[in-house]
Amino acid sequence: MKYILKYTFSLLFVLFSIVGNAQVKDTTKVAQRYGLRVGLDLHRLTKSFYDKDYKGLEVVGDYRISKKFYIAGELGNEDKTVDDDRFNFTTKGTYFKVGFDYNAYENWLDMENMLYVGMRYSVSSFNHTLNSYTIYDSTNYYGENTITTGEKFSGLNASWIEVVGGLKAKVINNFYVGFSIRLNYIVSDKKPDNFDNLYIPGYNRTYDGKFGAGFNYTLSYMIPLYKKK
């Protein structure tokens, strides 16, 4: 929670710096930079340090194809242990997301900020290890029965569509910070026998329905390739 507040604060800071820069309007056409932007998700990176039950890395990238459109994607790997009331399990897997971002923000002169919406098609391949589980017995007369198993559920996969909303702001030179939130909708979900995909790498925790949510907090570097008016 402390970290969420921290992120929220810095995000608002970024937001206001964008607003602060957007006071004057000008119609002059300025050559804009096109290039490939690559970065890391700082949330997953830092969480790997402070949360002993989580290891994850996400590489993000986008490539500008027009004034407003970017081809965008994420590639990541997660190793997460979930300790619920009823069970403790570890999910490991890799995911890939590809789609586009549409910049809705009107930049002034040579500014390169983004307030965007986008979509992704995402696939994830993963496995679960059920470390332990507790049998649910409503009477509980004989006491709790917790079984340590280590049973593995392999060869699982899922795919989903993400609707993305976010922003990116240039901080210095070619460096950008960004934040995005994602609403996920499951398209396919290969479930294991006698267990469930309660966590999907890249998708996060699953819920009863097909919807889920996620976010990232990125630091990126742009490799400029050419300029265009």
Partner 1 sequence: MKKYIIIISVVIIAFSLWNCEKDDICAETTPTTPRVVIEFYDFANPTVLKNVTSLGVVAPGFTQGFGFSGVSKAILPLKTTDDSTILQFIQNGSDEDATNDNLDEIIFNYSRQVIYVSRACGYKTNFTLDATIGAVLTTDSNNWIQNITIEQPIIANENEIHIKIYF
Residues that bind partner 1 (CB under 8 A): 1, 4-5, 8, 11-12, 15, 19, 22, 84-87, 115, 133-139, 141-142, 145, 147, 165, 167, 181, 194-196, 198, 208, 213, 215
Q: What size, in residues, is the chain? A: 229
Whole-angstrom distance, CA of residue 54 vs CA of residue 223 = 31
Q: In terms of CB distance, is 59 or 163 closer to partner 1?
A: 163
How far apart are CB 163 and partner 1 at their closest, in Å?
A: 12
- Distance of closest approach, residue 201 Cβ to partner 1, in angstroms: 17
Q: For helices 2-21 and 42-50, what crossing angle results, to 10°?
A: 160
Beta strand 175-189 with 199-200: parallel, antiparallel or unpaired? unpaired
Nearer to partner 1, 173 or 194 (CB): 194
In the complex, least distance from residue 227 CB atom to partner 1, rounded to whole angstroms: 27
Query: d(Cα 163, Cα 213) in Å, to the nearest integer?
Result: 10
Q: Which is nearer to partner 1, 54 or 215 (CB)?
A: 215
- Token representation of residue 107: 């930049």
CB 124 within 8 A of CB 200: yes
SS3 state of residue 208: coil
Q: Which is nearer to partner 1, 1 or 172 (CB)?
A: 1
- Provide the minimum distance between the beta carbon of 223 and partner 1 in the complex, in angstroms, as a whole number: 28
